[in-house]
Amino acid sequence: MVRIGFVLDQIDSLDIDWLNETVYNVLTRDHHSLKKLLQQDNYTSSSSAIDILLLVKIDSTFHLDDLLGKIYSNVREILMQKDLPLLPLNVLLGNFNRHDLYWDHIFVLEPTILVKYDIQFGTIEKFKGASDSIIHSANHHPVGNDSKDQNKYSVCALGGTFDHIHDGHKILLTMSAFLTSKRLIVGLTDEELLVNKKYKEYLESFSDRKNNVINFIRILKPQLHVEIIPLHDVCGPTGTVPEIECLIVSRETVKGGDFVNKTRKERGLSQLDIVVVNVLGGNEQDGWKEKLSSTEVRKILARETDSN
């Protein structure tokens, strides 16, 4: 078991380039022993992990969605190149659970930041800045909506299967936790709706999927109250719970949000704000065929089982 942390305390392109180069170096020529430990561990469990600590103030879901997409996709691509396709990867914001996390190795540009944020670690290494050969843009953020909406809603909801919780799931959960100040309701697809899934024998149980969601949010935002409700239809709790103010969906499930609001209107309930999160990988034109999915994770597990 080994847990590695990389600290970002800026959000400009230099910081993102430093992250890419440092992760690559750590898993290549500079730290062979770390890669060996990661490969030896049963990394399909969450015992070993790479964490990106995003220690910078973010108060807009627009910027957060963009950052999460860039970080998860860039680092995952490196992990794929280094034969660590299923190694758990987490992007943690500044209010993460400091009491239950400890990093065996942590990499930073400026070590004093660890004291400021009370981060527990074993070995620390200060890495130089990204290579001068990398071309830096003037501004990392895209132009667009910059409204401040952190903790905008008291009660939010989202739904999904969350099988073998992956980067796309974590972006959705992170955005939901970011928007929610008190109570997050997660509709979790019950096993009766999963009988036709591909590689069904590698599906996680309802209990495992539930625990994975709860554990991730507990690390991400420990003060948030999380409710997991079995999902038997499209609406689930969003069709009946009046306190819900906002529904978080991915771009491929926007129509589900429209259906929920139609159902709530018919039942005399208030309409929900719908927040749409980007899909990680693929594009809308081909039906998100290349998106990161639980099916792909199960396919990798099946292939590894066949090869052993």
The tens digit of pLDDT for each residue in 222-257 reads: 999 999 999 998 899 999 999 999 999 988 888 899
Average pLDDT over residues 56-84: 90
- Helix (H) or strand (E) run with residue 226 in it: strand 225-231
Distance CA 163, CA 232 (A): 16
pLDDT, position 300: 81
pLDDT, position 179: 97
Contact between 275 and 238 (Cβ < 8 Å)? no
152 phi and psi angles, rounded to 5 deg? -70, -35
- Burial class from Cβ neighbours inside 10 Å (0-12, 13-18, 19+) for residue 150 reads middle
Neighbours of 261 (CB within 10 A): 19
- Burial class from Cβ neighbours inside 10 Å (0-12, 13-18, 19+) for residue 165 reads buried
- Burial class from Cβ neighbours inside 10 Å (0-12, 13-18, 19+) for residue 107 reads buried
Q: Which of 13-17, 25-29, 70-74, 125-129 has the lowest mean pLDDT?
A: 125-129
Q: Residue 6's closest CA among 29, 22, 27, 25?
A: 22
- Encode pLDDT of 171-193 as tens digits: 999 999 999 999 999 999 997 76
- Helix (H) or strand (E) run with residue 66 in it: helix 61-81
121 phi and psi angles, rounded to 5 deg? -155, 165
Distance CA 50, CA 62 (A): 24
pLDDT, position 226: 98
What b/e string do you get for 190-199 counting C-beta neighbours within 10 Å, with b at 16 or more? eeeebeebeb
Both tokens assigned to 52: 């990106």
- Determine the residue type at 136: H
- Determine the residue type at 70: K
The model's pTM is 0.88
Both tokens assigned to 112: 């004093």
pLDDT, position 292: 64
Residues shown for the chain: 308
Distance CA 155, CA 59 (A): 18
Both tokens assigned to 285: 């034109």
Contact between 241 and 158 (Cβ < 8 Å)? no
Neighbours of 170 (CB within 10 A): 23
